[in-house]
């Protein structure tokens, strides 16, 4: 490829959206089936890594972005990828490690946002948040993280996960490639074989990377208005102490700024953690 700078690719990986995962226990360390599904998580990630190198990547960084951020063990990962484990405690959260030197971002194992029907593992960052809006747009984690990538002028070219998050992301990011590995059915998922998902993810990532020049980084124009609705009133009461925050209702607050990084800081420091 005739690229003039390094082809660095950033992969952010969650677990609720990987093949077969349907219950919270399957996402938690120490539970009986967690060990199996962390392997599925790693396999889907490795298929994306392989596709990135086949495309022409010079460096691939994988951000373990679920729970403790200690899900993918080093020996599970493709030997030529770099793994970001544990949390650096920055407002970038699931996108820690990304900067303007990267050429593309990939999301693996992502899930639907809070309030989405037929999606058993739906949530937005935490189950303590009912809705997160920026400039009136209700955001899934994929949308929030794509906006972080947009601040560095890096496009998100691929996402895998449940059918609902794939549908949401295609509307938000025109041209993005997606692979749905399962479909919600009330409290259940209709899922496919993990090997099928691995094959589809590799093909989808290749398609996304090959047309990265046609996919625009996601950006919203300032001023920014971030509304957060929590599951409990005490979370809104606490958040309202943050400078510049306005209480909207019993469980909702609003923060306004002309700086998107300031919005990230507000969200980081007010996100419920207990």
Q: What is the Cβ-side half-sphere exposure of residue 260, based on CA atoms within 13 angstroms?
A: 18
Residues 6+ apart with CB under 8 A from 140: 110, 111, 112, 113, 124, 165, 168, 169
Residue 103 to residue 101: CA distance in whole angstroms: 7
Residue 102 sits in the same domain as residue 39: yes
At 35, list the tokens.
């060990």
Q: What average pLDDT does this structure show over 15-20?
A: 98
Q: What's the rounded mean pLDDT across residues 138-149?
A: 98
Distance, in Å, from the CA atom of 139 to the CA atom of 209, rounded to the nearest integer, reads 24
Q: What is the predicted pLDDT for the residue at 6?
A: 85
* CATH number of the domain where residue 155 is located: 3.40.50.10780
Q: Categorize the per-residue pLDDT at 274 as very low, low, confident or very high, splitting at 50, 70 and 90.
A: low
Mention every residue, 6+ apart, whose C-beta is less than 8 A from residue 177.
157, 158, 159, 204, 205, 207, 208, 211
Question: Helix-strand-coil percent breakdown of the chain, rounded to 5?
Answer: 35, 25, 40
Among residues 167, 182, 214, the one where a domain terminates is 214
* Cα atoms in the Cβ-side hemisphere of radius 13 Å centred on 121: 26
H or E stretch including 43? helix 34-55
Mean pLDDT of 106-112: 98
C-alpha atoms less than 13 angstroms from C-alpha of 78 in its C-beta half-sphere: 20
**For residue 260, what are the domain limits?**
224-270
Question: What distances in angstroms separate CA 6 from CA 59, 103, 208, 214, one per listed residue?
Answer: 8, 8, 18, 19
- Tell me, yes or no, whether 120 and 173 share the same domain: yes
Using alpha carbons only, how large is the chain's radius of gyration in Å? 18
Per-residue pLDDT for 68 more than 50? yes
Look-up: residue for tokens 């074989």? 193
Whether the bond into 43 is cis, omega within 30 of 0: no
The pLDDT score that the predictor gives to residue 3 is 43
Residue 81 sits in the same domain as residue 202 = yes
| Listed residues 179, 194, 214: the one ending a domain | 214
Which pTM value belongs to this model? Answer: 0.96
Q: Are residues 127 and 230 in the same domain?
A: no
Residues 59 and 129 in one domain: yes
Nearest alpha-carbon partner for 254 in 228, 231, 232: 228
219 within domain boundaries: no
Q: What is the mean pLDDT of the chain?
A: 96
Give the model's confidence band at 189: pLDDT under 50 very low, under 70 low, under 90 confident, else very high: very high
| Residue 93 · residue 196 · CB < 8 Å | no
Q: Say yes or no: 130 and 260 in one domain.
A: no
**Number of domains the chain contains:** 2
Quick check: 188 pLDDT over 60? Answer: yes
Comparing CA positions, the residue from 14, 123, 127, 24 lying closest to residue 68 is 14
Same domain, 235 and 149: no
Determine the Cα–Cα distance for residues 176 and 159; give it in Å rounded to an integer. 8
Asked, for residue 192, whether it belongs to a domain, the answer is yes
């Amino acid at each position: 490829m005739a690229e003039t700078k390094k082809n660095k690719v950033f992969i952010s990986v969650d677990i609720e959206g990987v093949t077969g995962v349907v219950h919270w226990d399957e996402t938690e360390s120490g539970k009986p089936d967690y060990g199996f599904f962390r392997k599925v998580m790693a396999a889907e990630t490795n298929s994306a890594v392989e596709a990135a190198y086949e495309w022409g990547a010079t460096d691939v960084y994988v951000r373990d972005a679920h729970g403790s951020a200690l899900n993918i063990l080093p020996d599970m990962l493709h030997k030529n990828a770099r793994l970001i484990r544990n949390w650096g405690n920055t407002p970038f959260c699931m996108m820690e490690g990304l900067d303007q030197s990267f050429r593309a971002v990939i999301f693996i194992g992502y899930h639907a946002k809070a309030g989405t029907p037929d999606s058993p593992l739906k949530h937005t960052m935490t189950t303590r948040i009912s809705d997160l809006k920026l400039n009136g747009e209700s955001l899934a984690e994929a949308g929030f993280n794509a906006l972080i990538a947009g601040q560095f002028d890096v496009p998100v070219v691929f996402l895998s996960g449940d059918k609902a998050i794939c549908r949401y992301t295609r509307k938000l990011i025109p041209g993005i490639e997606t692979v749905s590995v399962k479909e919600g059915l009330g409290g259940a998922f209709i899922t496919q074989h993990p090997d099928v998902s691995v094959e589809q993810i590799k093909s989808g990532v290749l398609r996304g990377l090959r047309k990265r020049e046609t996919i625009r980084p996601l950006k919203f124009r300032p001023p920014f208005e971030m509304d957060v609705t929590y599951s409990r009133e005490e979370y809104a009461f606490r958040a309202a102490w943050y400078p510049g925050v306005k209480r909207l209702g019993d469980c909702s607050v609003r923060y306004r700024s002309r700086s998107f990084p300031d919005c990230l800081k507000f969200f980081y420091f007010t996100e419920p953690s207990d």
